Amino acid sequence: MKKSNRLDQLKSAVFAELERIKEEVAAEGITIIDLGIGSPDQPPAPHVYKALRDAVDNLANYGYPSSRGSKELRDTIAWWYRERFNVELDPESEVLVLMGSQDGLGHLPLGYLDPGDITLIPDPGYPVYAAGAILAGAEIYPMPLKEENGFLPDLTAIPQEVAQKARMMILNYPNNPVAAVADLDFFRKVVDFAKKYDVLVCHDFAYSELAYDNYRPPSFLEIPEARDVSIEFHSVSKTYNMAGCRLGFVVGCSEAIEALMRIKSNIDYGVFLPVQKAGIAALRGPQDIVNKNVESYKVRCNILLDGLSKIGWHVDRPKGTMFVWAKLPKGYHSSETFAEDILRKTGVVVVPGTAFGRQGEGYVRIALVQDEQTIAEAVRRISEKFDFS
């Protein structure tokens, strides 16, 4: 069967290879400890699934929802933004409900980029940034995230001719996979860049509530001038352990929101109303689960990092997200070889940094998505087979 050429460009060879090796290892009878995909292992808060269950019982909730999202949820999002970031939003024109932030990130380029336009994306970066650009036929200019720059892109390194052709830039702080954060000073520089070159900034804020040591990540929209040139994507997946519900939202520049809305209204009919009700309960209700998540990822992280340092693998502590971005131990140069070695010898799955772009070489990403005992078991198995000191 002849399929589209763009389909080939969407293949992630690294993830596919990892899956293949995982199956081989499992077939040998080794129990897999999967620290690969970042899917939360904890359930949502009781008041959230009660709201979902009650709404499922209401037969009025089974019609087509609106593509824009219910007014009640959009009002709640605007309220949450005011409470959390002190940012005012118009729920009619500056808020759009999504089937997860992935939906918006993947579809926005169809409404915003023409073939040949350039989009600036972080490298390493979450794979949908590149996928969305490929589907729209746009060109990708990767912005390296290097440790020596605090994992922030160096805006001054973007060539003038690239900046002039760029129409979009994607940022993501707290960042997956590098687990770094960004402050408002950096965002101000990005706003200046965006205004100078007429670039739409898309800030993926999926980990807005997952940061450590009482650090509260700022919203890009806290900068007053940002509203005309940026949008910000959110997700309830990680914050409230609702990844399977498929609910997210995007806020900010009304023209960009309208473009995405137009694309989506041709493709889907919005999010099932009971899921939207659960989202309202999550945002409006008690936030204990958020603190509990942060606390439990931190405890898991300590077990992992303390254990690894005992065998000579010293890994930086993440500033945010549920991931550890670990530089390869001494003597290893290929992320893929290293991840394969760990998986074959111990059954522990970590993702080679190159799954997120070329600049990911030299690192692996470890997701803190197993309980404390399982993380301790992963450390035990690695310590048994490896000594990096």
Of the two residues 204 and 232, which places its CB atom closer to ligand PLP in the complex? 204
Identity of the residue, 25 or 136, whose beta carbon is nearer to ligand PLP in the bound complex: 136
What distance in Å separates the CA atoms of residue 223 and residue 166, rounded to the nearest whole number?
Answer: 22
Cα 158 off chain centre by: 24
Q: Which stretch binds ligand PLP (CB under 6 A): 70-78, 100-108, 160-168, 339-347?
A: 100-108
Distance, in Å, from the CA atom of 200 to the CA atom of 256, rounded to the nearest integer, reads 8
Min dist. Cβ of residue 239 to ligand PLP (A): 10
Footprint on residues 122-141 left by ligand PLP (CB under 6 A): 126
Span interacting with ligand PLP, options 94-102, 254-262, 361-369, 374-382, rule CB under 6 A = 94-102
Q: Which residue lies nearer to ligand PLP by CB, 233 or 313?
A: 233
* The two three-digit tokens of residue 11, written as one number: 């293949």
Identify each DSSP E strand in the chain by its residue range. 33-34, 95-98, 118-123, 139-144, 166-171, 200-204, 230-235, 248-252, 323-327, 348-349, 351-352, 363-367
Q: Which of residues 263-302 bind ligand PLP (CB under 6 A)?
A: none
Stretch that binds ligand PLP, among 55-63, 95-103, 256-264, 307-315 (CB under 6 A): 95-103
Count of residues interacting with ligand PLP (CB under 6 A): 13
232/382 with CB nearer ligand PLP: 232
Secondary structure of residue 166 in the 3-state scheme: strand
Shortest CB 100 distance to ligand PLP, Å = 3
Q: Which is nearer to ligand PLP, 101 or 254 (CB)?
A: 101
Half-sphere exposure of 123 (CA within 13 A, CB side): 14
Query: Using CB under 6 A, which of the segments 63-71, 87-95, 235-243, 351-359 binds ligand PLP?
Result: 235-243
What mask, x for binding ligand PLP by CB under 6 A, covers residues 188 to 227?
A: ----------------x-x---------------------
Angle at CA 276, nearest 5°, toward 275 and 280?
Answer: 115
Spatial contact of 123 and 100, defined as CB atoms under 8 Å apart: no
- 237 is an interface residue for ligand PLP by CB under 6 A: yes
By the 10 Å C-beta count (0-12 exposed, 13-18 middle, 19+ buried), 77 is classed as buried
CA 154 to the chain's CA centroid: 21
Nearest of 243, 259, 241, 248 to residue 108 by alpha carbon: 259
Nearer CB in complex with ligand PLP: 217/329: 217
The answer to whether residue 100 forms part of the interface with ligand PLP (CB under 6 A) is yes
Q: How far is CA 244 from CA 85, 107, 163, 254, in A?
A: 26, 19, 37, 28
d(CA 116, CA 364): 32
Binding of residue 38 to ligand PLP (CB under 6 A)? yes
Does the footprint of ligand PLP cover residue 243 (CB under 6 A)? yes
Report the C-alpha gap between 323 and 355 in whole angstroms.
14
Residues with Cβ < 8 Å from 66, sequence gap 6 or more?
269, 270
Q: How far is the CB of 332 from ligand PLP (least distance, A)?
A: 25
Q: How far apart are CA 217 and CA 201, in angstroms?
A: 17
Rule CB under 6 A: choose which of 172, 346, 354, 374 binds ligand PLP.
Answer: 172
Least distance in Å: CB of 176 to ligand PLP? 4
Which listed range, 97-105, 208-216, 224-232, 327-335, lies at the site for ligand PLP (CB under 6 A)?
Answer: 97-105
Shortest approach of ligand PLP to residue 71 CB, angstroms? 21
| 94 makes contact with ligand PLP (CB under 6 A) | no
For the bound state, the minimum distance from the C-beta of residue 76 to ligand PLP, rounded and expressed in Å, comes to: 17
Calculate the alpha carbon distances from 69 to 10, 99, 292 in Å: 29, 10, 29
Nearest residue (CB) to ligand PLP, 56 versus 243: 243
Asked if residue 346 binds ligand PLP (CB under 6 A), the reply is no
Phi, psi of 323 (to 5 degrees): -120, 155
User: Considering the rule CB under 6 A, would residue 235 count as an interface residue with ligand PLP?
Assistant: yes
Give exposure, 185-218, as e/b (b: 16+ Cβ within 10 Å).
Answer: ebbeebbebbeebebbbbbbbbbbbbbbeeeebb
* 176 part of the interface to ligand PLP, by CB under 6 A: yes
Interface residues toward ligand PLP, by CB under 6 A:
38, 100-102, 126, 172, 176, 204, 206, 235, 237, 243, 248
